[in-house]
Amino acid sequence: MTATAHPRPRPTVAAWWRWLAVAAVVLLASTACIGAGSDDSGDSEAFTMEAASADEPASEMELMSDEGDFDMADDDMADEEMSLGGAAASAESATVRQTESDSATASGGTPAVPADLGRDIIYTAWISVEAIDVSAAAAEATSIIESVGGFTFAQQTSTRGRAHTTLTFKVRPEKFAAALERLSGVGELMEQNVSAEDVTDIVVDLGSRIGTAEISVDRLREFLSRAEDAKGVAELERELSDRETNLERLRGQLRSLRDRVDLATITLNIDEAAAAVPTSALRMRAWLSTGDEDPCLGFTELVAPPEGDVKFCFELENRGETTLTDVRLSSDALRFAMGDLGVTEGTEIERIEPGDRVVTTLTEPVSEGRIAGRVATRGLEIDIQVRAVPVTDAGDELAQLARDAGLYLYVEEDDSPPGFGDALSGGAGALLAVGNAVMLVIAALLPFLPIIAVLIAAAWWWLRRRRNRRAARSVDTSSQDDD
């Protein structure tokens, strides 16, 4: 029996296209794995993704019968849309999530840039300094960046109140450390944060997805060039537009990531440094005494006799770095003037130089248990206030200083019996009080004198008329009796 040799079936055009697409995807996956360097996890992920893509149907089109028309296979189109949609979603999530990153944060030192190990790393830094002249510091920072081959990316300046400017610079990664070190010297360094983020996995992922999208776009373009059916052409153009849009989005994400890798970002914040203000300090102490005692060796609380003098001592000391001018002592209880004070130590009380001390005294008489017109037999709190205006060496006035001190005085009551003079003065005082009362009554009635006069006149007229009537009635009665 003779074996009949059957002819080997020839592959169709669709089969050739499928094999060609699979070969291209495998070649692209191999290239991506080689470019990933030493990142084993990234290579494994990329290769797995490409292999998964290779298992997908390579063609969404079928060559139709003998007429040569192309039509879209519904099942293949659905598979391709799911594949592309999943790749786009993964690419978008990959750009948002933070992968394994090498972060280094410093607040005073500048980290060294690691050697180039074939990784894609984004370097960022934020520096805050204070400078007396913000404009000069900003100009110096710009000059530093230009000297290392960088450029100013953005600048924001404010002169309201305290001057402030924020500059954003872009430099090459190899110049990153040098730029940080020099920028920290444009003013007083207040804070510094530096970080490095490894985005190698994201770059590899985007590269592989872009390759897959490019193959899909080229395949659709080839199908579109050979399509003749109007409906098929419209569907192919719509699908091609969607995939080209997705491809450009992936390319944009990769370009943005590459730009951040190729140029490190440094943000410099410059604040105006507050001018050093010299310190101002004033110290005041107060005492009181009676008799011939030194008031500066006296007490803050004192019992005094009902008659005599009470002496006060006020000590003022300038413990600051500024000259105290327009120094004024006052008291609501005593109500004395600056001219009543006597300086016993120091040159003048109105002006006290740094480190100097002025001691001044005051004498107030006590009479009948009163001092400065205030009753002290039940105890009197005496408050002493001092005010001074600090002035710098340049002549600038600073905020006014105010200090106070408290004293307590109790005057004993006079328990001795009154004498002739006391009785005489008491009688005179009583008489004077009566006279004052009479004068007060007269003064109170003075506005009513016209009314009182009219009332008196009316009363006198009424009484006179009544008296006349009685007299006339008496005469009439007498006449009748005679008759």
pLDDT at 481: 63
CATH tag for 282-411 (out of 2.40.160.10, 2.40.30.10, 2.60.40.1530, 1.20.120.80) = 2.60.40.1530
Query: What value does the mean pLDDT take over residues 217-222?
Result: 86
What three-state secondary structure class fits 128?
A: strand
What three-state secondary structure class fits 343?
A: strand
pLDDT at 127: 94
For residue 52, name the pLDDT band (cuts at 50, 70, 90): very low
What three-state secondary structure class fits 298?
A: coil
Of 24-33, 370-379, 419-428, 440-449, the range with the lowest mean pLDDT is 24-33
Query: What value does the mean pLDDT take over residues 130-155?
Result: 92
The per-residue DSSP string of 404-426 comes to EEEEEEEE----SPP-HHHHHHH
pLDDT above 90: percentage of residues in the chain:
34
Distance CA 152, CA 142 (A): 7
For residue 128, name the pLDDT band (cuts at 50, 70, 90): very high
Q: Are 64 and 13 in contact (CB under 8 A)?
A: no
User: Which residues lie closer than 8 Å to 325 by C-beta, 6 or more apart?
Assistant: 350, 351, 388, 389, 390, 391
For residue 425, name the pLDDT band (cuts at 50, 70, 90): low
Burial class (CB within 10 angstroms; exposed 0-12, middle 13-18, buried 19+) of 471: exposed
Distance CA 56, CA 73 (A): 14
CATH tag for 121-200+267-272 (out of 1.10.3470, 3.30.70, 1.10.510, 1.20.120) = 3.30.70
pLDDT at 30: 47
What does the pLDDT look like over 233-292, one tens digit per residue?
888 888 888 888 988 999 898 888 888 888 999 999 999 987 777 888 999 999 999 988
What does the pLDDT look like over 53-92, one tens digit per residue?
333 333 333 333 333 333 333 334 334 443 434 433 343 3
3-state helix, strand, coil in the chain (%, to 5): 45, 25, 30
Question: What are the tokens at 181?
Answer: 């070190």
Extents of the domains making up the chain? 13-99+202-259, 121-200+267-272, 282-411
Beta strands per DSSP E along 177-319 = 188-198, 264-272, 282-290, 301-304, 308-318
What does the pLDDT look like over 398-410, one tens digit per residue?
999 999 999 999 9
The DSSP code for 463 is H
Mean pLDDT of the chain: 76
If we measure between CA atoms, which residue out of 144, 175, 140, 151 comes closest to residue 270?
Answer: 140
